[in-house]
Structure 1
Amino acid sequence: MKNRGFLKFASAMTVMTLGGVGYAAHKRSRNPYYQGPVSDHFDGVRFFSPGQPTDKDVGELARWQLGGGREAWPARFPSPFPQDTPPERIEGLRIVHIGHASLLIQVAGRNILVDPVYATRASPVGFAGPKRVNPPGIAFAALPPIDAVLITHNHYDHLDGAILARLWAEHAPTFVAPLGNDAIIRTYDATIPVETRDWGGSVDLGDGIVVHLVPANHWSARGVNDKRMALWCAFVLTTPQGVLYHVGDTGYGDGAIFRDLRERFGAPRLATLPIGAYEPRWFMQAQHMNPEEAVRVFREVGAEQGLGHHWGTFRLTNEGVAEPAEALGRALAAAEVPSERFLAMRPGQVWGG
């Protein structure tokens, strides 16, 4: 009985915290976050990625959880880079990795945070769930004035509600998120205004910078009953410094979303792509790219530079803490891409400037 209780708790925690696990146990018939017309990726209650798999069932979840193959992680995996103190503003382009999927983009005099997570655990509770193994690459107090915050989706390793409320209180930025995420963000501070858009929508951030919401092959949940009730996305920023493409989480799928992106926006100057949380492949492939697939996307969109994130901070899946960076190196060599063109970023590491 004790083991059964533990597995039930572990399964629930996995569903709530992990950006790559589905759970086909839907009981609600009404969406508490978003009400809108049916579309090619919204059935009136839940969102979905057209033509892509949606949810794993409980048996598949148990098979993964009980199947072994999990590499040990250290309690600490410190970055070789010191915490960064960014300049207040720059006219060029500067990217700092805060950790996991959190980035500071400084471009054309504007400061933009993407998926800022400062929590100790990527979890709805403070006593369990994936725990941070390195400190943020920028201390919160060292952040420059923040003009905009972009949220790709609502998983706990991407949407840290407490820090969003603090950012609103101290910086009053523009918040941009896909449909339904405004309701979630406002549970942390009801006064936060959030610009929500569907795939294909955009928000003008000023100074020649426009953020566009584009598809990703992923899913969303904050609990066990709200599966896919808020939309997820990737972002394209058109800026005076070129096109920037940021993916929080995605599976490769059939590759159509990446081909469409290049056709619509042209080849990006920079692509920031997830390279971690991908094992076991039979379970994760639909929602998370591995490094080989990330290199494939990098080449297909025609990016000048790639930066890899979503690895080495929170243990979410089976691979070892350093494996994504090592696998990225192998994939780049196999594709005959110079290693300096696609970096596996560590917290505090800076590109550009």
Structure 2
Amino acid sequence: MKRRSFLKFSALAALFGLGASGTSMALSRNANRYHSGPVSDHFDGTRFFNPDGASPKGFSDLLKWKFGGTQVKWPATVTSPFAPARPDPRVEGDALKITMVGHATMLIQTAGLNILTDPVWSDRASPLSFAGPKRVTAPGIAFEDLPEIDLVLLSHNHYDHLDLVTLARLRQAHNPLVVTPLGNDAIIHAHTPSMRVITADWGQSVESGPATIHFEPCHHWSARGMNDRSMALWAAFVIETAGGKILHIGDTGFDKGRPYKNAREKHGKFRAAILPVGAYEPRWFMKDQHQNPDEAIDGFLMSGAEFALGHHWGTFQLTDEGRDAPAEVLDAKLAEKGVAKDRFRPLHAGESWEAPATSV
């Protein structure tokens, strides 16, 4: 294997929490370095898991996937027609504006709050600065053009969602409060000790100013290296303000629709849902952990949300589908299901969406 290919594969193995020995680290019983707490219906005392769900694939499956030769080649760079965006300093009251930065990074503005989700401004989503998935589309908002950031919602610790370099920049420039599931505080504080971080478990809530952030289950997993698989929790968020409720999911498998059914049963209908639509091929490898656009639409309809915005596509090539495939498939499936395109939009970098004033 050539050096460049070996480095890319090593970065990918680390992203998937797999050891080069050929064994899945999910089977080991290493002490949890991030979190200690009581056993629950989704924590066995060492690792978190999806109740009645599916475990991530193992090393042999990773080899089968990566050497199967099915990956569509992405362009090296793509310029978004919407970037760069220059957001308003604040969006007050019950108005709601959401701007795509790239991948899973969104700026949510409502109730006078500026909220970032899974902020990544780095060039690579990788444990290595010189190898691994590289950004093909520049951030839709230049870091220097960000308004004052109050909250960061961090869904889980994969490198395309938890970027320590970006978090350190945010700490220095804005000092936001990071709201994240159990265990991720240890990862952040090891790199930036002064970062303000609060953690919670599924079913718990955090209040910050005019917003309440609810932590809800989704079907995923976590890893930063080769021996810490699922030692930190992952979660979906429900953002509740006077202007309504927003369902935000950073990553999830469809899981028979449970993340959506459970959220609607607990929280009622949503003003908007922010849902992943990319990183889903090949299905035999990705299905359990990454929903595809068809499933995202079904989840949107199950949630009762008035509108949905698609993210997790077009920035970093993590899987086999083409760069534009998620948006194209989403549009086609919306037409098949008789859902108006303006109800579920896959946002491009720098593109903003404003909720209609009639939303509830």
TM-score by length of 1: 0.95
1:6 positional shift: 7.3
Contact 1:23/1:55 (<8 A) preserved: no
Contact 2:252/2:291 (<8 A) preserved: yes
**1:147 equivalenced with 2:150 (yes/no):** yes
CA distance in 1, matches of 2:334, 2:234: 28
1:20-75 residue CA offsets vs partner (Å, 9 max, x unmatched) = 9x972344520000011100000110000111111312211111011111101000
2:85 maps to: 84
User: RMSD over aligned Cα, in angstroms?
Assistant: 1.9
CA distance in 1, matches of 2:277, 2:104: 10
Q: What amino acid is the match of 1:118?
A: W
Q: What amino acid is the match of 2:248?
A: H
1:253 positional shift: 1.0
2:15 maps to: 17
2:298 maps to: 296
1:205 to 208, 220, 225: 208
**1:43 equivalenced with 2:40 (yes/no):** no
1:259 to 254, 258, 261: 261
Q: What amino acid is the match of 1:110?
A: L
1:115 to 111, 115, 118: 118
CA distance in 1, matches of 2:150, 2:118: 14
1:277 maps to: 279
1:226 positional shift: 0.4
Query: Aligned pairs, how many?
Result: 350
When residues 265 and 42 of structure 1 are mapped into structure 2, their CA distance, relative to the original with a 3 A threshold, is same
1:201 positional shift: 1.1
CA distance in 1, matches of 2:8, 2:78: 24
Contact 1:174/1:193 (<8 A) preserved: yes
1:9 positional shift: 4.7
Equivalence map 1:179-190=2 (5 Å): 179-190=182-193
Equivalence map 1:139-178=2 (5 Å): 139-178=142-181
1:66-87 residue CA offsets vs partner (Å, 9 max, x unmatched) = 1111101000121111211111
Contact 1:122/1:131 (<8 A) preserved: yes
CA distance in 2, matches of 1:169, 1:23: 40
Q: What amino acid is the match of 2:262?
A: D
Q: What amino acid is the match of 1:94?
A: K
Percent of residue pairs bearing the same amino acid type:
50
2:314 maps to: 312
SS of 1:254's equivalent?
helix
TM-score by length of 2: 0.93
1:245 to 224, 244, 247: 247
1:93-147 residue CA offsets vs partner (Å, 9 max, x unmatched) = 1100000000000011111111010000001111100000111011111111111
1:19 positional shift: 9.9
Can you give the 5+ residue segments of structure 2 that lack an aligned partner in the other structure?
356-360
Equivalence map 1:30-109=2 (5 Å): 30-91=31-92, 92-109=95-112
1:250 positional shift: 0.1
Q: What amino acid is the match of 2:91?
A: I
Contact 2:25/2:228 (<8 A) preserved: no
